[in-house]
Structure 1
Amino acid sequence: MSRIVYVNGQYLPETEAKISIFDRGFLMADGVYEVTSVLDGKLLDFAGHSVRLARSLKELDIATPCSDDELLAIHRELVARNEVVDGMVYLQVTRGNPGDRDFAFPGADVKPTLVMFTQSKPGMADSAQAKTGIKVISIEDIRWGRRDIKTVQLLYPSMGKMMAKKAGADDAWMVEDGHVTEGTSNNAYIVKNGRIITRQLSHDILHGITRAAVLRFAAEAQMEVEERPFTIEEAKAADEAFYTSASAFVMPVVEVDEAAIGTGKPGPVATRLREIYLEESRKTAI
């Protein structure tokens, strides 16, 4: 069965979906995106993703393509039409198609482009990697300064993934001024003496929706959290480490730059936070 996607008001087979070559998302990476996970046919943290999408659009002065209610309805329709049980809904908004290439933003008469599609990931909550943990390498962070805006400028993160793969690792943690900013597509954490340490929110990192939920659940579980930058050396000396993202939830990190972290196996804090996140998020999924 051909996947059904959404393009500017239409539900179409993916083979029939078309975007103009003059769309600024294609020419300028002039757009933002969100990824919402689906478990048991329901959307996780949808409200948080909607709020962050609105913020990203406002920061780039891109018009909002539709209301939150309409956005939710499209998400649900795509999940239903594609019979997604576990997986993700990808959403992208660009500044649209002005009809030609120009560095200047087009006028208000040019409507934003909204495209959405699903990705089916059966059993994504029961990840084998979450049981064994992953390996990361460190790389220099050379991205632009507004990483808090979830733009489609993902070339360097993609390169970072490939650097990790070439080194026999699973992902890369990016380092700026001696401190870890974040992973290629996730927020980074270490645990030392029971304390969870993660970089504070700023323009330097993406304000992760899963990050916010996990830190809230950690506080409710009376876990101590310290929001500050940490170094790769601190990570190597940590008791455990992990990252969070919408699609991986809470993922233990057991090695950085070929040095084992803690016991070299997923630690109790990351393991428990993953359990709590999945349990609590399923309760509030819509």
Structure 2
Amino acid sequence: MLIVLPLLGALTLTAISGQSWSTSEKRTLQSAINSALHSAEITRFYQLCKEQPADGSAPYSLTDKEQQRLQTLLQQKVHTQNIDQLLKLDSKLTQSVKANIVAPSSCEDSKAVQTLLDNYEVALFSLDIAMPLERAISRSTAVKTPQASSSAVQQLIDRSHAIALVNVVDKQQLNAVQQANYLHPDYSGRYVFKVQHGWRANINYYLGMHIFVADKDIDKLEKQWLIFLDKNGHFIKALEFNKARPYLNTLKDAQWRYDVYGNLHRN
């Protein structure tokens, strides 16, 4: 723990736009943002790497196990549980905090996973002992960016025949038979979507991506997406995971999933 504690103090206390915050309030906001970003990274790791039971039993939780604690602390310290609003309060501070979070390089990187969990615990502790803001974060202080309204979210869900959370993988992971079964003969991309779980109608375990990704661009590409398909299997929309929160909150628990062997299970 003593090794990771200095990381919190090393981040620059950037001036928060829109309101005048005291030094202690800036530290509170920094701790809140740090905790929220760690939670998001841990949830992403669980969704990418946690194997689901293959025997049809209840699926494991795929979210940060400290999420309730985080929500309680956010309400107490910054008077809101709206993480999107919090992260948009100051983009420079959010990017500065995010740059200091080291994500595991693979599902087998147990050392990095433990470091991530330890740093998250430190972030939550820092938030727990922080002074509450004297006033709530107002919507006017956040950087205004286009955001889907609740009605637009529901409309897209209603229009979709199938919705799925998918990961980007190399097509070479598929053998010749799988490529023939899952991909269109004219599909020329090297990278494909591997389906984790979804809602409404189920879709194939693998499918071609909606965009062409060159090898030089793969490291810049978001590795997890939420996709919406029509009844013919055509893409209606594809959202990077970090933009999919309003939709995932509305969809809630997945209705079906694939296990690590590619077997379909209904939840």
TM-score, normalisation: structure 1: 0.27
**TM-score for the superposition, normalised by structure 2:** 0.28
